[in-house]
Structure 1
Amino acid sequence: MKNFIIKNTDKVEGSLSQEYYFQSLLQYAYSNDLLSKEQFENIQIQIIGILKELVGYYTMGESTSVRVEVAESLLLSIYYTISLFLKNNFKAIESIDLIKKNNIKEIFNKGQKLLKVKLNECTTLLEYITKTKILIKNYAYIDTMEYGIPLFFKEYNFRYESHEVPGSIDYPLANYEINLAGVEYIERYLKNLYLENLFCSNFNFKDIDELLNGYDKKSYHLLINVFKIVLTNSIGSILLNRSAKNLLITSSDKIYIEYKLKDLSEAQLKDNILMAIEKICSEFSIDNQELINYLNNISVEISHEININKIDKIFITPNNEKENIIKYKDRKSIKNNLFRYVTEEIRTCNTVEDKIKIIKEDIHSLRDLVDVLGADCIFEHEFYKVFNSLEDIEIALLIKYLPSNKDLDSDYGTESEKEWHEKLKEYLDYIDDYRKKNIMSLSNKIEI
């Protein structure tokens, strides 16, 4: 049984709590006969000895007793300090051998020294984070950067409360361990925040603000992760064959991305997103391996979200999108007698190609084109070729003349008008989804 456990070191590591490492290590070792009852009790006695000594320091020698809650906190601090040293230097099985053979007080003292080292490293990290701070209007981010994190260093007590995380850290990261405590928590938080800041520093902060405003007009009040929103739109920009630095993704762009990704399997989608990350790293000359790994990890989440959600919800359209309303001013219509002559000429053509040529040469206004379509001079299969000869903007304009340009499911008018309406619907159903969505999106923006 013991040999089996030793050979499965990874399973042992995975079964232990990261927040209460030493306690779970003792429990695991005792439950699996890796510690005898006598050894287990001896370790507990040594812990009590450290606690008594710590109480003496805490009360400055004035008392040998404290309130129960203070004693419990001191005990947790002792466990945490020992845990920190063991986790950072040994595997679980090695740690069990260590605590069986060594004085627990020595391990505790080494843990306290390591705490000081970790605190100094975190102070340096804070300097890096301050230098890479994103200049955005998000209260949680600003408050955490300027008040919450500095408060940790001001109030953290590594001697008596090493397991605590003082301060006010509200800003959510894209990826961080929540099952850590004390200096380990702040170390992981600061490392990940630094990586996120470092990535976002490649972008114009004004562009980021506009992107967040596109996410929500009151984004400055929300607990949102800015880095992930920026990364997602940067990936979208790569999928559009643009610069990674460009965060502008329009409504039409989303239609194209959806069209490009719609038939991909989950594995293919993941590969496409990872390739986008490679291009982003190349464009920004990112060679920090920690940042590259971080980007890859978050990209897996983004890939999964794209797979289960609508593209429109994944990629954000900044508020500086310049395609809101298109005001169309029609050209002057030709005179009635000339119009009758043109329609008669079209009617007598032998081929649809000749009809299209006349339309291109003589019809220059939308109103005249609509009238030609309903003038009994184009028939059956000819409609498809006529529509196919038009630009997307012209098709989008024709849709405005349909009885219902939203659902295309109702009609009225003369029989000739109904015919071209129906043929246009059939044409829209025939063309590929991407082009249809793009035309419909364009039509919705047109104001006649």
Structure 2
Amino acid sequence: MSNNNLTNININENNLIKNQYAISLLKECMDCKVINEREVYNIQQEISLILIDLIKKYTNGQSTSVKTEVAEKLLLSIWYSIDAYVSKLENIEKRVAELTSKNIKYVYLEGIKILEYDLLELEKFYEVMKIRKLDTNLMAYNDTLMELSGFFKNYSIKFEAYDIPVSIDYPLALDDMDIQGIYYVKNYIESMDIENRFCNLFRNKDREKLFYDYGRTYKIDCDVILINLFELIINNSIFSTILGNESTNLKISEYEYEFLEKQFKNIYNHTFEDEIKQYEENNVVEFIEESNSFDFNNSEELNKESIINEKIVLLLEEAIAVLIERLNIEDEAMIKYIKAYEKIFIESVLSSIKSGTFKSIITVSKNESEPLEKYIVDDENKLDDKSFRAIFNAVLESTSIIEKIKIIKENINAKKDFIDILESECLFGDDYLMLFASLSEFELAILGSVVFYEDMRMEEINLLELLLNKNNKTTPWKREYIEFMKKKNKEKIHCIEEYINQIN
């Protein structure tokens, strides 16, 4: 290494990349003249020797060469281990010193030790996290928990350290996609545990009712949809706090929603009312009035939108602070997580008010006896070509899955139109899952009667057997329907099978 004084180096940490930490740090060291090209070449030579040794282990001593893609994987794993060692050091000066002055093989082997230790510790924590898991029927949540156990059996530190050899489908409220391998899984498990512990502050029956209400709102079978439970719960809890209800009360009535929407719109449009309708505990009045205390005349340097946004931001920040206090949350990790989510939540609220989609932020409580609507039964309501084309274009142009489903469910009532929309290929990937999840069992049976038309021409069908043996060489929507149905439990499959046979 050059004789430069490490205390005087000027590394720009903004140029350091999480997934390529050591490599990006070496580049910065070159730019700052901490090391020269010759020293970088020596490091590259050392890495090559480590790679040759790793290839021998990979091939069980049979060869010193492998396919290019395999060599790339092994090389990424070497650097991942080096990153594990370097990034654990306490400051940038020490990281530079270790990376540029130590034998790279030593750094690599120390990194392997760190990864092995971290894997053991993470598995212990995973077992603790499972004890605190939520009691829910949400398939993505339960399947992901099971999948994570396979990570500890299948993770390869030496050969695929950056990889995640399991499927993680359940979405977190906060997910750092800039990290890979064990450290992604570590961050995921720790975040999931925080979300679990927060959600467990609320009664299970209240959580399930909220989940049920969400499903009724969007006409979705929530057991199969990708939705974050923490997000649903904390959103309603924040607004419940603003309304003056108990923070653990997750129910928000249609009337309460309308009140909230009106007040937020008033703030946004700067048309405040002299009197605010009183609620039982009246905390809402304090929140709203405090947000109205700005003096526009004394804020000339700010534009109107900035001031309005600041009013709403202060209102929501205060509500979240009160929520944390009322729920007696003292866990620093949980508070930090909530504060990080606060930024996303506030941006979503501001955006929803501006776009007129405020209702998407809140789950309104539904009457459990409210009947399910039927959408795709009455072929007397078939659309004319012009109307159908307008709906097709609206679905195709929309970038929101929820909006796409809403357009279809509100405008299409005829089976023929519904099939035509599916055949027109204006839906993609998860759009199908979301749409099928929004249908009743009877409606799924109607689609099933189309998918399995040839099979049911002569006799009653065994739906479970058909799902397992059906040839997937068919249209995209039918393939998606089959894959969706495979994820249903046996009871629901049997119920839909009975409907299909009745239709037959």
- TM-score, scaled relative to structure 2: 0.60
1:316 Cα deviation from its structure 2 partner: 0.6
1:211 match: 210
Calculate the aligned-residue CA RMSD, in Å.
Answer: 2.4
Cα deviation digits, residues 3-41 of structure 1 (max 9, x gap) = 9996655xx222211112222222332344332011100
Structure 2 partner of 1:312? 359
Q: Which runs of 4+ in 1 moved over 6 A?
A: 2-5, 321-324
Q: 1:251 — aligned with what?
A: 254
- Equivalent position SS for 1:40: helix
* Superposed CA offset, 1:160-184 (max 9, x none): 2111111110111111210101111
User: What corresponds to 1:184 in structure 2?
Assistant: 183
Report the secondary structure of 2:23's partner residue.
helix
Partner residue in 2 for 1:53: 53
* Aligned residue type for 2:237: S
**Match for residue 267 of structure 1 among 310, 318, 328:** 310
2:235–2:361 Cα contact (<8 Å) kept: yes
From the superposition, tell whether residues 275 and 6 of structure 1 become closer, same or farther in structure 2 (CA, over 3 Å).
farther
The answer to whether the 8 A contact 1:55-1:66 is kept is yes
Preserved CA contact (<8 Å) 1:200 1:230: yes
Match of 1:143 in 2: 143
Distance of aligned partners of 1:199 and 1:42 in 2 relative to their CA distance in 1, 3 Å threshold: same
Q: Which residue of 2 aligns with 1:365?
A: none
Question: Which SS does the other structure have where 2:169 is aligned?
Answer: coil
Distance in 1, matches of 2:84 and 2:335, equals 27
Name the larger-Rg structure: 1
2:304 maps to 1:301: no
What is the distance in 2 between the residues matched to 1:259 and 1:4?
59
Q: Contact 1:125/1:194 (CA < 8 Å) preserved in 2?
A: no
Rounded to whole Å, the distance in 2 between the matches of 1:279 and 1:223 is: 29
Whole-angstrom CA distance in 1 between matches of 2:244 and 2:8: 52
Q: Which amino acid in 2 is paired with 1:319?
A: K
* 3-state DSSP of counterpart to 1:230: helix
Alignment of 1:16-415 (within 5 A): 16-146=16-146, 148-216=147-215, 217-261=220-264, 262-263=266-267, 264=291, 265-309=308-352, 310-320=357-367
In 2, the alpha carbon distance for the partners of 1:165 and 1:254 equals 42
Q: Tell me by how many angstroms 1:323 deviates.
A: 10
CA drift at 1:59 = 2.5
Instruction: Work out whether residues 9 and 34 of structure 2, in 8 Å CA contact, stay in contact via their aligned partners in 1.
Output: no
Which residue type is aligned with residue 239 of structure 2? G
- SS of residue paired to 2:88: helix
Letter in 2 for 1:199: F
Uncovered stretches (5+) of structure 1, i.e. residues with no partner: 325-448
Which sections of structure 2, spanning at least 5 residues, go unmatched?
268-290, 292-307, 372-504
Which amino acid in 1 is paired with 2:321? E
Judged with a 3 Å threshold, the aligned counterparts in structure 2 of structure 1 residues 63 and 202 are, in CA distance, closer, same or farther, namely same
Q: Residue 6 of structure 2 contacts residue 97 of structure 2 at CA under 8 Å; is this kept in 1?
A: no
Which string of whole-angstrom CA distances, capped at 9 and with x for unpartnered residues, describes residues 227-247 of structure 1?
011100000110111111111
**CA apart distance, 1:82:** 0.2
Supply the distance in 1 between the matched residues of 2:33 and 2:195 (Cα, whole angstroms): 44
How far is the alpha carbon of 1:151 from its aligned partner?
1.6
- In structure 1, give the amino acid aligned to 2:365: P
Deviation by residue 1:348-386 (Cα, 9 ceiling, x = unmatched): xxxxxxxxxxxxxxxxxxxxxxxxxxxxxxxxxxxxxxx
Give per-residue Cα distances to partners, 1:32-54, cap 9 Å, x unaligned.
43320111001001111111222
Structure-2 change in CA distance of 1:320 and 1:199 (3 Å): farther
Q: Cα distance, 1:288 vs. partner?
A: 0.7
Q: Secondary structure at the match of 2:165?
A: coil
Larger displacement relative to structure 2 (278-287 or 243-252):
278-287
Residue 228 of structure 1 aligns with an amino acid whose one-letter code is E
Bigger CA drift: 228-237 or 136-145? 136-145
Per-residue CA deviation, residues 66-105 of structure 1 (Å, 9 max, x unaligned), is: 2322221111100000011111214444323322211011
| Cα contact 1:254–1:311 (8 A) shared by 2 | no
**Relative to structure 1, is the Cα distance of residues 287 and 150 closer, same or farther in structure 2, using a 3 angstrom cutoff?**
same
Higher mean C-alpha deviation, range 208-217 or range 219-228: 208-217
- Given that residues 212 and 318 in structure 1 are in contact (C-alpha distance below 8 angstroms), is that contact kept between their aligned partners in structure 2? no
| Aligned mates of 2:257, 2:222 — CA distance in 1 | 21
The amino acid of 1:243's aligned partner reads: E
Query: In 2, distance between residues paired with 1:8 and 1:226?
Result: 44
Change in CA separation of 1:4 and 1:43 when aligned onto 2, cut-off 3 Å: closer
The CA deviation string for residues 262-287 of structure 1, in whole angstroms up to 9 with x for no partner, is 41532232222222222222232211
Paired residues in the alignment total 320
Separation in 2, partners of 1:137, 1:318: 20
